[in-house]
């Protein structure tokens, strides 16, 4: 494994903080101002024209955008001999791929807030004719103050144009994106539906042992019902996820305004409810069934009176 560089351009490297399919990401400081930034640099083995063109597109599209929920691009050098790089604002937060497992799921109110913020960012990008193509938990950073930031437009393309390659993350990829079709905002709506599903359940929308089976599932099989993994989520919220993830894009939400309106209505009902929707978060289905039985027997039952600490070991996650 190659060692991290000590400097890139006018920046000294603090540490490596991430790696993607084509690039590495570093926390860095400007050598004069000491301002903290994040630097994304193409790896040496990814200097072919197709990757350079995608990187140049990311820089060009990123420079067009200014939104509180999108990580800003500050600078770039596409001709650096050690690899093209771009400089972004440094975000002190955690990517949500740390919160996508069954035992690490965020509270439902956090999920609602994140989805609303990312939808706002993607609606803004759509007004500029930009399709992100890689909306997933790992590309959403949640700051301690609750602000969510969408990052990594490395797969982004202008709307209704074909990308140089089929790109994105399979678990969040719509059928038309998988086919390499020209895309519009409905591809990102599908992806955000899949993100919502993952953050609520800790599972992908389909079960597959390999990429081939995943592709078949994306094209042909309905998503696994949310209730398979988490009880008692409101039907209105489940319906929004289902419509966002329709395989035929003409049956999906037509645009972000439609999605945001329906999602907002579902979120409002949840926020106004006094029912503890987090009661089932992070538990196995067998334990959720036990909880449901207790709830049916005693409406005054609450999580404070029956927590993981009081569960028998046989009811583990």
Give the pLDDT score at 295.
Answer: 66
**How many whole angstroms separate alpha carbon 227 and alpha carbon 224?**
8
Closest CA to 4 of 65, 74, 83, 105: 83
The segments of the chain whose pLDDT lies below 50 read 300-301, 303, 306-317
In the chain, what are the domain boundaries? Answer: 7-89, 94-272, 283-315
CATH architecture of 7-89: 2-Layer Sandwich (3.30)
Q: Are 243 and 222 in contact (CB under 8 A)?
A: no
Q: Say whether 134 is catalytic.
A: yes
Amino acid 315: pLDDT: 38
What is the C-alpha end-to-end distance of the chain, expressed in Å? Answer: 36
pLDDT at 293: 78
40 is in an annotated binding site: yes
C-alpha torsion sign, points 95, 147, 194, 289: positive
H or E element, residue 162: none
pLDDT at 109: 97
CA distances from 211 to 32, 95, 154, 170, 189 (A): 47, 24, 21, 8, 22
pLDDT (0 to 100) of residue 314: 41
Same fold yes or no, 7-89 and 94-272: no
Second CATH level (architecture) for the domain 94-272: Orthogonal Bundle (1.10)
What is the model's pLDDT at position 307? Answer: 46
Measured from the Cβ of residue 281, the count of other Cβ atoms closer than 10 Å reads: 20
Q: What was the pLDDT predicted at 311?
A: 44
Distance from C-alpha of 262 to C-alpha of 280, rounded to nearest angstrom: 24
CB 129 within 8 A of CB 159: yes
Which tens digit of pLDDT belongs to each residue from 6-31? 999 999 999 998 887 788 999 999 99
Beta-carbon contacts of 48 under 8 Å, excluding residues fewer than 6 positions away, are: none
Q: Which of 49, 53, 134, 152 is catalytic?
A: 134
The answer to whether the beta carbons of residues 49 and 78 sit under 8 Å apart is no
| Cβ contacts of 255-264, under 8 Å, gap ≥ 24 | 255/123, 255/126, 255/185, 255/186, 256/119, 256/122, 256/123, 256/126, 256/185, 256/189, 257/123, 259/119, 259/189, 259/192, 260/116, 260/119, 260/120, 260/123, 262/236, 263/115, 263/116, 263/119, 263/237, 264/116
Residue 136 CB contacts under 8 Å (≥ 6 apart), including other chains: 97, 169, 171, 172, 191, 194, 195
Residue 297 has what pLDDT?
A: 61
33: DSSP letter: T
Res 1: pLDDT: 56
């Amino acid at each position: 494994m190659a060692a991290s560089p000590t400097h890139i351009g006018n920046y000294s490297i603090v540490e490596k903080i991430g790696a993607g399919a084509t690039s590495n990401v570093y926390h860095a400081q400007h050598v004069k101002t000491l301002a903290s930034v994040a630097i994304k640099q193409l790896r040496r083995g990814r200097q072919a024209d197709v990757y350079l063109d995608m990187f140049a597109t990311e820089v060009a599209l990123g420079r067009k955008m200014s939104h509180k929920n999108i990580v800003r691009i500050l600078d770039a050098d596409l001709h650096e001999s050690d690899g093209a790089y771009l400089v972004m604002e440094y975000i002190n937060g955690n990517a949500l791929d740390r919160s996508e497992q069954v035992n690490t799921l965020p509270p439902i109110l956090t999920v609602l807030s994140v989805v609303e913020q990312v939808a706002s960012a993607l609606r803004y990008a759509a007004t500029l004719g930009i399709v992100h193509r890689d909306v997933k938990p790992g590309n959403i950073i949640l700051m301690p103050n609750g602000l969510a930031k969408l990052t990594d437009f490395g797969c982004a393309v202008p709307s209704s144009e074909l990308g140089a390659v089929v790109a994105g993350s399979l678990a969040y990829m719509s059928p038309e994106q998988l086919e390499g079709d020209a895309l519009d905002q409905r591809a990102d709506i599908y992806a955000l539906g899949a993100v919502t599903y993952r953050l609520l359940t800790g599972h992908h929308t389909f079960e597959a042992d390999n990429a081939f089976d995943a592709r078949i599932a994306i094209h042909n099989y309905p998503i696994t019902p949310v209730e398979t993994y988490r009880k008692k989520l409101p039907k209105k919220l489940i319906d929004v996820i289902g419509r966002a993830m329709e395989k035929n894009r003409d049956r999906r939400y037509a645009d972000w305004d439609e999605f945001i309106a329906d999602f907002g209505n579902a979120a409002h009902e949840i926020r106004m409810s006094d029912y503890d929707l987090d009661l089932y978060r992070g538990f196995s289905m067998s334990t959720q069934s036990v909880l449901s039985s207790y709830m049916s027997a005693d409406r005054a039952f609450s999580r404070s009176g029956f927590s993981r600490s009081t569960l028998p070991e046989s009811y583990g996650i």
